Structure 1
């Protein structure tokens, strides 16, 4: 089995660097041995901290985006009501058209094809 390289979170790195900054001279080696770290790691972490690369990251939000504000919610509700009204109106119009077609069939009236030019 191949050995895996350890990875450290930004929070862990910052915590170790803060502990080392507070440590008295000579305690650095004890902290490194306790954590199983090398001094080269500290050099790299200090460089990252100076560049601002160790700032805590924003948590990734999963799922659908949250509704922005009350105005958007009101607009969405208004549009849903309008959509429902238009669907009811369309259903009525289709019913009227079906009745007209049946009436024309009963009266034997030929309907004009809507695709043909007049």
Structure 2
């Protein structure tokens, strides 16, 4: 039996849309990570796989979460913020720090030029050469 366009329930109308059936990335709370990690570490080696299957996790999750817990940061166990506003704040903060560093360098350079000018004026006065007229 051959299938015709009339036999299908959906058809391609030429409009390109993002995949609606694409799975969403899961996020886990810090409490969940700490609880599952404690349960996983307390379990015998034979039971660890059952915990991972039950929760739908991989052993790499445990490795990453354990590493974050050892770093001593409970916030590191929390989900990474991928909020656009947070990224923009970080970018603006980095820009402000860069601008402040550049301002400090510019102020130091101006201070140095001012001191050099004052030194040259002092040397000029001590040699007796006339001062150029000021505007």
When the two structures are superposed, what TM-score results if normalisation uses the length of structure 1?
0.45
Max radius of gyration: which structure?
1
When the two structures are superposed, what TM-score results if normalisation uses the length of structure 2?
0.39
More helix by share: 2
